[in-house]
Structure 1
Amino acid sequence: MNALVEHRAFDHVPLDGTIGLEDLASKIGWEPAVLIRFVNVVLIQGIFEEPEPKVYKHSASSTVFREDAMRAYYQLGSWSVPSWWKVSDYLKTHAPEDVYDPLKSPFSYSRGAEGQTYYQLLEADLAFSDVWHKGMAQAAPFNPVLGMFPFRDMKEAVEAEPDRAFVVDVGGGRGNALVDVMRECGGGFGAPMVLQDLEEVLQGEDPVQIDGVQVMPHDFYNEQPVKISLPDAHIYYMRKVMHNYYDDKCRTILRPIVEAMGPTSRLLFGDMILPETAQPGDDALPFYMDLRMLMIGGTERSETQWKQLLESVGLVIVKIWRLPGAPHQATIETRLRGK
């Protein structure tokens, strides 16, 4: 699959027709006798169809690999393969506590780059970074923003205090989550919508520009600017951030936000919740993701682990809004303890 993706074989199969083996091989620069050995393996998985011998057309499963985002999502997995192959060596050669050090993650070890975090390596490799951002966009339907917390029900509260930001998306990347919220709510109910991330993410080669969104470069280890330049926000939002870090680092990240929150502020976490136990027949995805986060220096958490982490920084869980049909995906609503 990786060879077919990287050589763009999927792009050369017409959407509404067929292509012969020799023609396809010529277009991607392979020997036909080599190409058929790859195609045969994916054919038995339902990727491509063969209406007659050595003639191919798209199946529903192969069509999606013509799209940049899906292709990137697949390649994102292939970038991680070295860490999976080398994790056994990592565990043999490292102290048990090293796994909690993001500078010594299995991913960094597999790249010969200990001393750098997964995200430093990501941003330093332009090809990998491009694949990562496109892949995350493709993953969004599996980790949705909407369908859990009722953002539109905030209308009355936000319109009553429009000087307070409606949503501050902390570590929000390219702003996809804010776009979803604004689409559901018809905008920001007249209040600011704020996107925060590192300057190189927001204002690099392709600066983020979203109508109705205030782009605010910010390192979340520093003091939260929304209570300095603006009053405390109605909602601070962190999506797929906490699972990148273990608890000590999470507490360091959360404290500036907690200090900026007002009595009615909410801090929402769009994240995964691990089942408390693993049983035969359970959905494997949460446990696979937890192992994947191990590779890059993070962890998924159970409801018990979430409660312990959040209470340690002065937050209480108001409600866990689970996604219908996928209860491991959730939005965790929190407020300041005692408010």
Structure 2
Amino acid sequence: MASNDTDRVRAELEQPYDVVTRMFENLTVCGALNMLIRIGAMHKLPSDGTSIKAADLATAVNIDVTAIHRAMRVILVQGIATETGPDEYTHNQLSLALLPEAAGSFFLLCMDLSKTMGTLPEYFKTHAPEDLYDLTKSPFAFSVGKEGRSYYDVLNDDVDQRNIWNAALQLAEKNMPVRGMFPFESLKEQVEREPERAFVVDIGGGRGQSLLAIQKDCPGGFGGKLILQDLPIVIESLKPEEIPNIEATVHDLFTPQPVKNAHVYFFRRLLHDFYNPVCVEILKQTVSAMGPDSRLIVCDMLVPSRVTVGVPMQLYWLDLSLMLISGKEKTIEEFHEIFDAAGLELVKVYPSNVGETVMLETRLKRTE
């Protein structure tokens, strides 16, 4: 809250030149840190209480020492790493947290997307408006010279990049709420009465983080199955001990849902990866499997009708990033249209205490 207040005051006081320099300062910090991570310099900094001289660091990564001086100064002024003496450095808590095996994975993903943002002017000059909605003509595919393939097809070309993406998404997931919206625990009596029906089917559920969180309020799934569905590359990487009480199965969300009449079908942070017509196609595959009292719950962010100056930026930078890979955060009106086209109706919106994240409870459309 204090940070939001500070942003609002700054917006009132800053002059245009101040705004531009602040934006460029952020770009410079990102550029310096990206360079130092990718050339291996950040991994050469000691974390055992000793330090390394700039000249030795430059030799270790085979670049000119002045490049080390200049890049390190930029991150040091932001509190990333510690200068123990003139041109001599060591890790601190923040720099360790920004290594690729920690929050640095998310940072590197953001940097990759920022490269694509730099190509947006040329993309829009050379493409028809409708190309933006073509999965094989995304700005990302254009930026890397691989149009004709989707973002995820391109991503799978590079194992290292895919691993960075997986680590980044797992980190992001930890900062997105699951609990405190739809009351899964309220279905206890219903699930115990019909345990032969799956309790929750988590479509595209990654490494089971949502089902693990749901179990905190619903121990053992109240005797009903908790089913995790995702692609082979995800499911085959899971160990049983990582997903207790969860049945992991391979499923392509563009094919008919094999689990019939579950109590809940769950789509968390998935539909925002696609434009509206594709979302309708995806949902129809599950709608066909729903029973009369099945619930289909979507967890995503809602774009408000107007922008408020100084509010947290997460929703907006995420939405622009999704545009690069053929995705979109949506308004409540858009969700109404998607649900209606898929044969669903919205029952209730459950907000969270974190940003714009909500859960949308839907059911099969009732006929009058």
Question: TM above 0.5, one fold?
Answer: yes
**Residue in structure 2 matched with residue 319 of structure 1 by the alignment:** 348
1:115 partnered with 2:144 = no
Aligned mate of 1:279, from 304, 308, 313: 308
1:335 partner SS: strand
How do 1:132-211 and structure 2 match up within 5 A?
A: 132-203=165-236, 206-207=237-238, 209=240, 210-211=243-244
1:301 partner SS: coil
1:61 partnered with 2:94 = yes
Distance 1:208 1:306, change over 3 A: farther
Deviations 1:55-98 (A, max 9, x none): 33444432312461412111112222332111111101111111
1:248 partnered with 2:277 = yes
CA offset at residue 295 of structure 1?
Answer: 0.7
Q: Which amino acid aligns with 2:106?
A: Y
1:215 partnered with 2:248 = yes
2:110 partner SS: helix
Distance 1:4 1:185, change over 3 A: farther
**Partners in 1 of 2:102 and 2:112 — Cα distance?**
15
Aligned mate of 1:309, from 338, 352, 359: 338
Distance 1:317 1:110, change over 3 A: same
Q: Which amino acid aligns with 1:167?
A: V
**Residue in structure 2 matched with residue 49 of structure 1 by the alignment:** 82
How do 1:88-127 and structure 2 match up within 5 A?
A: 88-127=121-160
2:162 partner SS: helix
1:331 partner SS: strand
Deviations 1:3-55 (A, max 9, x none): 22224444444446241324544554545433121110111222123354333
Question: Does the Cα contact within 8 Å between 1:69 and 1:137 map onto a contact in 2?
Answer: no
CA offset at residue 285 of structure 1?
Answer: 2.1
**Partners in 1 of 2:184 and 2:96 — Cα distance?**
34
**Count of residue pairs brought into register by the alignment:** 332
TM-score by length of 1: 0.90
Distance 1:149 1:59, change over 3 A: farther
Deviations 1:168-193 (A, max 9, x none): 11112222222222244333221111
**Partners in 2 of 1:157 and 1:213 — Cα distance?**
19
Deviations 1:93-137 (A, max 9, x none): 111111111111111111111111111112232111111111101
Question: Does the Cα contact within 8 Å between 2:284 and 2:342 map onto a contact in 1?
Answer: yes
Q: Which amino acid aligns with 1:224?
A: Q
Aligned mate of 1:239, from 245, 268, 280: 268
Question: Does the Cα contact within 8 Å between 1:148 and 1:331 map onto a contact in 2?
Answer: yes
Q: Larger deviation: 243-252 or 47-56?
A: 47-56
Q: Which amino acid aligns with 1:6?
A: R
CA offset at residue 208 of structure 1?
Answer: 5.3
Q: Larger deviation: 254-263 or 154-163?
A: 154-163
2:182 partner SS: coil
Q: After TM superposition, what 4+ stretches of structure 1 lie above 4 angstroms from structure 2?
A: 23-31
**Partners in 2 of 1:52 and 1:150 — Cα distance?**
55
CA offset at residue 138 of structure 1?
Answer: 0.7
- State the identity %: 37
Q: Which amino acid aligns with 1:292?
A: S
Question: Does the Cα contact within 8 Å between 2:177 and 2:354 map onto a contact in 1?
Answer: no
Deviations 1:260-302 (A, max 9, x none): 1112211111211111112332332212211111111111101
**Residue in structure 1 matched with residue 299 of structure 2 by the alignment:** 270
1:270 partner SS: strand
**Residue in structure 2 matched with residue 5 of structure 1 by the alignment:** 37
**Residue in structure 2 matched with residue 295 of structure 1 by the alignment:** 324
Question: Does the Cα contact within 8 Å between 1:166 and 1:235 map onto a contact in 2?
Answer: yes
**Residue in structure 2 matched with residue 17 of structure 1 by the alignment:** 49
TM-score by length of 2: 0.83
Question: Does the Cα contact within 8 Å between 1:174 and 1:208 map onto a contact in 2?
Answer: no
Question: Does the Cα contact within 8 Å between 2:281 and 2:342 map onto a contact in 1?
Answer: no
**Partners in 2 of 1:91 and 1:31 — Cα distance?**
38
1:330 partner SS: strand
1:169 partner SS: strand
